[in-house]
Amino acid sequence: MPKPNRVSNSVDASLSVEEDDALAPVVSNRRGDRNESQTVFRACEVLKSFRRLGEELSLTDVMQRTQLPKTTVFRLLRTLIHGGLIERVGAGVYKNRLGPVSGNPFHIGFATQGDSEFSRTVMQSIEIVAAREHLHLTTVNNRYSAKEALRNADFLIHERVDLVLEFQTYERVAPVIGSKFLEANIPVIAIEVPHPGATYFGANNYKAGLIAGKTLGRWAREHWDGKVEQLLLLELPIAGSLLELRSVGLVDGLRAELPSIANVPVVHLNGRGDFEQVLEVVRQYLRRARARRTLVGTVNDICALAALRGFEEVGASDRCAVIGQNGVRDARNELRKPGTSLVGTVAYFPERYGDEIIPLALGILQNKSVPSTVFVKHQAITPRNVDLLYPLDLNTPTVRRGVGESFGQTTGLNHADAMFR
Which pLDDT tens digit goes with each residue over 4-29? 433 333 333 333 444 344 344 444 44
- Give the residue from 96, 128, 143 where a domain finishes: 96
Range name among 67-71, 188-192, 194-198 with the lowest pLDDT average = 67-71
Could you tell me the pLDDT band of residue 414, with boundaries at 50, 70 and 90?
Answer: very low
pLDDT of residue 33: 58
Q: Which are the contacts of 254, defined by CB distance < 8 A and separation ≥ 6?
A: 213, 214, 216, 217, 231, 261, 295, 297
Structural domain range at position 405: 205-348+390-420
pLDDT of residue 6: 36
Asked if residue 249 has pLDDT above 90, the reply is: yes
196 & 212 share domain:
no
185 & 322 share domain:
no
> pLDDT by residue (tens digit) across 60-74?
989 988 889 999 999
> pLDDT by residue (tens digit) across 283-323?
999 999 887 999 999 999 999 999 999 999 999 999 999 99
pLDDT of residue 101: 63
For the sheet with 230-235, list strands across it.
266-270, 230-235, 294-298, 320-326, 342-347, 379-381
367 & 339 share domain:
no
313 & 237 share domain:
yes
338 & 269 share domain:
yes
Domain count within the chain: 3
CATH of the domain at 258: 3.40.50.2300
213 & 195 share domain:
no
The percentage of residues in the chain with a pLDDT greater than 90, rounded to a whole number, is: 65
Q: β-strands 93-96, 56-58: how paired?
A: antiparallel
Residue 380 domain flag: no
217 & 303 share domain:
yes
336 & 360 share domain:
no
Residue 17 domain flag: yes
> pLDDT by residue (tens digit) across 37-54?
888 888 888 888 886 667
> pLDDT by residue (tens digit) across 312-369?
999 999 999 999 999 999 999 999 999 999 999 999 999 999 999 999 999 999 889 9
3 state SS for the chain: CCCCCCCCCHHHHHHHHHHHHHHCCCCCCCCCCCCCCHHHHHHHHHHHCCCCCCCEEEHHHHHHHHCCCHHHHHHHHHHHHHCCCEEEEECCEEEECCCCCCCCCCEEEEEECCCCHHHHHHHHHHHHHHHHCCCEEEEEECCCCHHHHHHHHHHHHHCCCCEEEECCCCHHHHHHHHHHHHHCCCCEEEECCCCCCCEEEECCHHHHHHHHHHHHHHHHHHHHCCCCCEEEEEECHHHCHHHHHHHHHHHHHHHHHCHHHHHCCEEEEECCCCHHHHHHHHHHHHHHCCCCCEEEEECCHHHHHHHHHHHHHCCCHHHEEEEEEECCHHHHHHHCCCCCCEEEEEECCHHHHHHHHHHHHHHHHCCCCCCCEEECCCEEECCCCHHHHCHHHHHCCCCCCCHHHHCCHHHCCCHHHHHHC
Burial of 65 (0-12, 13-18, 19+ CB in 10 A): middle
Residue 384 domain flag: no
Residue 385 domain flag: no
Residue 5 domain flag: no
Residue 4 domain flag: no
Q: Which are the contacts of 21, defined by CB distance < 8 A and separation ≥ 6?
A: 38, 39, 42, 72
Residue 3 domain flag: no
139 & 197 share domain:
yes
CA distance 331 to 386: 10
270 & 410 share domain:
yes
Residue 399 domain flag: yes
CATH of the domain at 64: 1.10.10.10
282 & 360 share domain:
no
113 & 87 share domain:
no
- Give the residue from 34, 68, 96 where a domain finishes: 96
Query: Dihedral of the CA atoms 399, 400, 405, 408 (nearest 10)?
Result: 40
